[in-house]
Amino acid sequence: MKFILFFFIFYFIMIAMIIAMPLFLSFVCIATIVFILYKIYEIFYFKSDKFLSIKEEIKDYISDCNELNRHIEELKNTYAEFNQTDYGNANFIDNSRYQYKRKELSKFIKSQYTYNCSLTVCRNAQQQPFKYLCKYFNISINEDTLNEFETVFNNFSAAEQGKKLIKNKKYVILSGINNRIPFLIRTFSKKKLDKKLGFEEVDFKTVYFPKYTFRYISGGGNSSMKVDILLDLNNLERFINYLSENIKWRKSVAGQRALMTSSLREKIKKRDHFTCMQCGNSIEKEPNLLLEIDHIVPVSKGGLTAEDNLQTLCWKCNRKKGSKLQENNVKKQIKIANATE
């Protein structure tokens, strides 16, 4: 009743303003009043029993969606950084008598992902990116490096697939309550609706893909050139093949392992009928289920990337397995530390 009375008061104020003010000012005032009224309506709605009831009904689905989102963020942060030699810090000061504007010198960056080089190296890196990536960024061509990049590729692939699935899950959840949410709220308060329902923000960007840069800046600082090597899924898979072709394999491993590629990931899922080998959940039961490829015997314990050592796990089971292995490793380290005291 109070809310209706509030509307009538504002309505009469608005009529008075229309009569008293020029057309433009009246329009501005009307727009401001409408905006204020909508914001008041928005506040009342999100505090209403009707909305809180809807939120309570779907809280488990939203919690599952948020948990998957956090898992995807963990997968995106698994890139193994390779340390470079620390050559120290230095400051550049231009003491030229004529103080030429060397604008290109401002592009000089010191970073473990940027190599400042000659023009020749820059051009060669453009022609043979993987060769120069390994040479100048201290990436060793051996089995350990291959294992690390296969893990990165496997996790990044799962993350990209997970982003699509989480978008689908969110759409299904919102579609189920769409008719119960007022049109104005659905249209003008979409982001706030997501937040009020409890959805965590999903990052759909691909900036987490590591990017290495070769940068040339001329001695006079008047010209520059750079070559970027972005290790997205396509380049990661090609880089894995490059490492495999150039590794001097141990006799015990040669011919026994496969490469973690997109085709192998799909082959394992198809072999396992797109079903988690741990809990039995499948995409038939849960269409937006994120399935991941797991090493039965972990690589850290000598397991190979071979078909008989790979299995399909849902993201929850794979996450539990990873947490358990990490817990066991910590216990082992504590045990060793106590024994040495």
Per residue in 157-215, pLDDT tens? 999 999 999 999 999 999 999 999 999 999 999 999 999 999 998 888 877 899 999 99
Residue 105: its pLDDT value, please? Answer: 46
* Structural domain boundaries enclosing 54: 48-81+103-180+195-248
Does residue 219 sit in the same domain as residue 72? yes
Lowest mean pLDDT among 5-14, 40-49, 70-79, 130-139: 5-14
120 and 240 in a single domain? The answer is yes
pLDDT recorded at residue 173: 93
**What are 233-278's pLDDT values in tens digits?**
999 999 999 999 898 765 555 556 788 899 999 999 999 999 999 9
Residues 57 and 74 in one domain: yes
CATH of the domain at 275: 1.10.30
Same domain for 111 and 237? yes
pTM, two decimals, is 0.76
* Residue 95 within a domain: no
Residue 334 lies in a domain: no
Residues 59 and 42 in one domain: no
For residue 93, being part of any structural domain is answered with no
In a domain, 185, yes or no: no
Residue 338 lies in a domain: no
Q: Given a cut of 70, is residue 84 above it in pLDDT?
A: no
Residue 199: how many other CB atoms lie within 10 Å: 18
Note whether 113 and 134 are same-domain residues.
yes
Is it the case that residue 296 has pLDDT exceeding 70?
yes
Flag whether 145 is in a domain: yes
Regarding whether 77 and 41 lie in a shared domain, the answer is: no
Instruction: State both tokens at 23.
Output: 């057309």
Tokens standing for residue 88: 């120290």
Please tell me the total count of domains within the chain: 3
Separation of alpha carbons 53 and 46, rounded Å: 11
Q: Is the pLDDT of residue 100 over 50?
A: no
273 Rama class: left (phi>0) / alpha (psi -120 to 50) / beta: left
The answer as to whether 26 is a domain residue is yes
Query: Are 55 and 146 part of one and the same domain?
Result: yes
**309-333 confidence digits (pLDDT tens):** 999 999 999 988 875 655 555 444 4
**86 lies in a domain?**
no
Number of Cβ within a 10 Å radius of residue 79? 17
Q: Give the model's pLDDT for residue 212.
A: 93
Check whether residue 206 and residue 59 sit in a common domain.
yes
269 and 223, same structural domain?
Answer: no
Query: Same domain for 69 and 172?
Result: yes
Domain identity same for 224 and 76: yes
Q: How far apart are CA 80 and CA 70, in angstroms?
A: 19
> Checking DSSP bridges between strand 291-295 and strand 224-230, what pairing results, if any?
unpaired
